[in-house]
């Protein structure tokens, strides 16, 4: 098909420089090279991580860049050698590669593929070039997804084929937010039936963590947010108690400790602030409690904690996309 070798002109939301708002532009999207797939993006979510990109707080992002990493679409054309998808297939571009061959991909406990882009200071495709141009300038990719473009090009090993009946405007959330929150409870914390949980931050990711805790059989799920408008949805999804830290004089970790006796079994920070990371850590019980850091702090920042919080036995861990193995 001739079209497969043509440059596509379409719209994309481009971030030209740190601190500048997104600007919708006409961009050119080059055809896929060998091992690559060009996708028509039909739907995209907006994750708070895209906001960190605009502010220049996400590591290793070069500008100009097309953000967005929570998309779903339809394969438009494939490069030489691509066998796992064909034009017309519904797919989700995954923000974490899965080569299926490296030691991390072969380890059932890990989802950090060694072909990941996260460890490299660039936002180009694996061959170190870009498929996007705008007004004669090279535009960078983001997480090899760039779902804020109507068409994008990604490696075959970051393309996941999905059911032809899947509603793309809903399943796009599997690309990041839902998988991250749900997976943080199921894969990272491994929440046990009958346990108690606390989820700090009730955005798309935090609400998905509430759903994960509920699916794992938690008996009590405390949901925390400074925006009380989030509480109705949290309750609908499984939260048993909703609290606004601003309604209390004492620190929220003390409120949660009193509510549960000794603190919760599992806590999740899904906001991205140093103070709430401390509060979440202090909210899980001092000995067997597990706290999962889901929220992002600006790259290069530091966080200080009272070492006694860990010395007494607590576990503090992070999660990358909820430990999800996307393939």
Q: Among Zn ion, ligand NAD, none, what does residue 202 contact (CB within 5–8 Å per kind)?
A: ligand NAD
Tokens of 304: 């200080």
Which member of 3, 226, 303, 305 binds ligand NAD (CB under 6 A)? 226
Which member of 239, 321, 324, 326 binds ligand NAD (CB under 6 A)? 321
Torsion, Cα 21 277 113 212, to 10 degrees, reads: -100
Which CA distances in Å does 292 have to 204, 237, 241? Answer: 16, 20, 19
**CB contact at 8 A, 180 and 201:** no
Q: Is 48 in the site for ligand NAD (CB under 6 A)?
A: yes
Alpha helices by DSSP H, listed for the chain, are 48-54, 103-106, 168-171, 177-183, 204-215, 231-237, 252-260, 274-283, 308-311
CB of 13 to ligand NAD, least distance (A): 17
CA distance 167 to 84: 21
CB of 44 to Zn ion, least distance (A): 11
Judged by CB, which is closer to ligand NAD: 4, or 18? Answer: 18
CB of 100 to Zn ion, least distance (A): 6
Judged by CB, which is closer to ligand NAD: 27, or 294? Answer: 294
Tokens of 33: 């090279």
Query: Which range binds ligand NAD by CB under 6 A, 11-19, 128-136, 268-276, 281-289?
Result: 268-276
Query: Which range binds ligand NAD by CB under 6 A, 164-172, 215-223, 282-290, 317-325?
Result: 317-325
Which member of 158, 195, 319, 324 binds ligand NAD (CB under 6 A)? 319
What DSSP element (H or E) covers 72?
strand 71-78
Q: Binders of Zn ion among 15-74, rule CB under 5 A?
A: 47, 49
Judged by CB, which is closer to ligand NAD: 78, or 293? Answer: 293
Q: Binders of ligand NAD among 242-261, rule CB under 6 A?
A: 245
Q: Is 202 in the site for ligand NAD (CB under 6 A)?
A: yes
- β-pair type (196-200, 220-224): parallel
Residue 264 CB contacts under 8 Å (≥ 6 apart), including other chains:
195, 196, 197, 198, 220, 222, 256, 283, 284, 285, 289
**CB contact at 8 A, 9 and 47:** no
CB of 57 to ligand NAD, least distance (A): 9
Q: Is 270 in the site for ligand NAD (CB under 6 A)?
A: yes
Which member of 64, 93, 97, 295 binds ligand NAD (CB under 6 A)? 295
Q: Among ligand NAD, Zn ion, none, what does residue 235 contact (CB within 5–8 Å per kind)?
A: none
∠ CA 141-176-321 to the nearest 5 degrees?
100
Q: Is 71 in the site for ligand NAD (CB under 6 A)?
A: no
Judged by CB, which is closer to Zn ion: 105, or 153? Answer: 105
CA distance 91 to 95: 13
Q: Is 160 in the site for Zn ion (CB under 5 A)?
A: no
Instruction: Give one word for 50, left, alpha or beta, with left for phi > 0 and alpha for psi -120 to 50.
Output: alpha
Q: Using CB under 5 A as the criterion, which residues of the chain lie in contact with Zn ion when the complex forms?
A: 47, 49, 99, 102, 105, 113, 176
Binding site for ligand NAD (CB under 6 A): 47-49, 52, 176-177, 180, 200-206, 224-227, 230, 245, 270-273, 276, 294-296, 319-321
């Amino acid at each position: 098909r001739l079209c497969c070798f043509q440059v596509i002109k379409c719209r994309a939301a481009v971030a030209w420089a740190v601190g500048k708002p997104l600007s919708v532009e006409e961009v050119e999207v080059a055809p896929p090279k060998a091992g690559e797939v060009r996708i028509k993006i039909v739907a995209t979510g907006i994750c708070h991580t895209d906001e960190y990109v605009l502010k220049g707080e996400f590591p290793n992002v070069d500008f100009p860049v097309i953000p967005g990493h929570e998309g779903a679409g339809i394969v438009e054309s494939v490069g030489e050698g691509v066998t796992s998808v064909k034009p017309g297939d519904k797919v989700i571009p995954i923000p974490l590669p899965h080569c299926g061959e490296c030691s991390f991909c072969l380890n059932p406990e890990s989802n950090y593929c060694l072909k990941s882009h996260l460890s490299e200071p660039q936002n180009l495709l694996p061959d170190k070039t870009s498929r996007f141009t705008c007004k004669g300038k090279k535009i960078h990719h983001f997480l090899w997804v760039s779902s804020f473009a109507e068409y994008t090009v990604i490696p075959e090993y970051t393309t996941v084929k999905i059911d032809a009946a899947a509603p793309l405007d809903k399943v796009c959330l599997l690309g990041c937010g839902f998988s991250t929150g749900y997976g943080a409870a199921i894969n990272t914390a491994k929440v046990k039936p009958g346990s108690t949980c606390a989820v700090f931050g009730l955005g798309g990711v935090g609400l998905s963590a509430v759903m994960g805790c509920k699916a794992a059989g938690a008996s009590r799920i405390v949901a925390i947010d400074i925006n009380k408008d989030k509480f109705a949805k949290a309750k609908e999804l499984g939260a048993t108690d909703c609290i606004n830290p601003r309604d209390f004089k004492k620190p929220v970790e003390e409120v949660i400790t009193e509510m549960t006796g000794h603190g919760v079994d599992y806590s999740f920070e899904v906001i991205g602030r140093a103070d709430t990371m401390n509060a979440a850590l202090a909210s899980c019980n001092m000995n067997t409690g597990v706290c999962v850091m889901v929220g992002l702090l600006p790259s290069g920042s530091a966080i200080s904690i009272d070492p006694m919080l860990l010395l007494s036995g607590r576990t503090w861990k992070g999660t990358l996309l909820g430990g999800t193995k996307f393939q």
